[in-house]
Amino acid sequence: MIRPSSLWSARAVACPSRRRVRTPGTVRLPRAMAIIACILMTLTVSAAPKQNASAVARIRSVLRTQQEAWNRGEIDGFMNGYARSKSTIFISEDTVRRGWETVRDRYRKKYSDRAKMGVLTFSDLEITPLAPDSAVVLGRWNLQRAKNRPHGRFTLIFRRLPEGWRIVLDHTSAATPAP
């Protein structure tokens, strides 16, 4: 029984379903927590487009830096766009290669001189952030060389690592050469 003479009891509200007494403050606490949660979610959602725009710009910068390094004949500079990890994956020509050094060795062997490297351009880039620390990139690559113009498509998975955005998976395919 609630006694009106008690200060505590005068503010109490009976909650028969739980058979205990609730004070108005305990009723307000869940509501306040829900309001705070909504405010925090709104701030997070409104910050997401800014984070996505920043991620897209940084990933474009990595790809631009790779293209520039390639066109200077610097395979090691080009490789700076990849995660220096044994788990880095490169897929092409029906082969899966694992590890940053393995991928670099493949580039060095296949493009052993400037004539083979040609001039690289990336185009039709579609960068889609998947999470704050990952994104997928679709695009086209084109090599302009004296004797031919190989080209194709690529799919890249980028991860944001301590050293910045880096490619952790590259699936590149070449188009069939024109006759």
Please give the domain boundaries of the chain with CATH numbers for all domains.
51-174 (3.10.450.50)
Mean pLDDT of 74-101: 97
> Three-state DSSP class for 125?
strand
Can you tell me the distance from the alpha carbon of 112 to that of 83, in angstroms, rounded to the nearest whole number?
Answer: 22
Can you tell me the distance from the alpha carbon of 71 to that of 178, in angstroms, rounded to the nearest whole number?
Answer: 24
Can you tell me the distance from the alpha carbon of 16 to that of 23, in angstroms, rounded to the nearest whole number?
Answer: 13
* Contacts (Cβ under 8 Å, ≥6 apart) of 103: 79, 82, 88, 90, 97, 170
Which range, of 4-8, 54-58, 67-71, 91-95, averages the lowest pLDDT?
Answer: 4-8
Q: Which amino acid is at 35?
A: I
Q: Which of 125, 130, 115 is nearest to 168 (CA)?
A: 130
Answer whether 0.85 is exceeded by the pTM. Answer: no
> Three-state DSSP class for 59?
helix
Task: Answer yes or no: are the C-beta atoms of 63 and 80 closer than 8 Å.
Answer: no
Q: Which amino acid is at 37?
A: A
The 10s digit of each residue's pLDDT in 77-89 is 999 999 999 999 9
The 10s digit of each residue's pLDDT in 120-132 is 999 999 999 999 9
List 164's β-bridge partners, or say none.
161
